Amino acid sequence: MAHPILLQDWITARGNTGATIVSQQESSYADLKGYLDVAIHLQVADFSASSNLDIQTSPTKEEGFFRTMLGFPISSAAVFFGVSRYASAAIPLTRWVRWQLTGVGVPPVLTFRIWLVGNPACSVRSPDDLLPDWTGDRSLGRVPRQLEAGAQHGRSPGAGLAPRVGTGRRRQ
């Protein structure tokens, strides 16, 4: 099952005359550890000049490791969609995802929002999903609920589960 992740809520990003590249703040990077594929839904509400918005990925948060996974040339206010599939991507999805805006000749100004839809590597959310229904720890281990229920009534766990064997005499 896919999971929606808000990479960036509505924002207006502005470059200045000295720099035509604007990157997402490190504290807002999306952590996609455990995901294989990602779909990107980019909504552009306003722009001032042609620019490129790149979706980048990296195994760490260090600047030098980020590589462009998907790029969107922006020349109009529109909705853009892209998909990065692990099996066929030139740059596959790694742990961290961010956006980077680059102006084409002039400082960029862009108002946009980005949603990601991540496809997990496995449908199991945690190793506990593979285990039966357990209650809390019992000193050296855990006891299944069905066995614990018998012990609450003064019986040993599992008591009453075996068929009763009669004496062979009928009651009258």
pLDDT tens track for 64-84: 999 999 999 998 999 999 999
Could you tell me if 30 and 97 are in contact, meaning their C-beta atoms sit under 8 angstroms apart?
yes
pLDDT above 90: residue 144: no
If one compares 125 and 85, the residue with the highest pLDDT of the two is 85
Q: Which residues span the domain enclosing 150?
A: 124-156
| 18 and 72 belong to one structural domain | yes
Residue with tokens 């108002």: 111
Q: What is the 3-state secondary structure (H, E, C) of 86-117?
A: CCCCCCCCCCEEEEEEEECCCCCEEEEEEEEE
Supply the pLDDT for residue 106. 82
pLDDT above 80: residue 158: no
Closest CA to 146 of 165, 159, 129: 159
Residues in the chain: 172
Digit-coded pLDDT (tens) for 109-133: 899 999 999 999 876 555 555 444 4
| 105 and 130 belong to one structural domain | no
Tokens coding 37: 């594929």
| 95 and 146 belong to one structural domain | no
| 39 and 114 belong to one structural domain | yes
Bridge partners (DSSP) of residue 41 are 81, 115
In a domain, 169, yes or no: no
3-state secondary structure of 72: strand
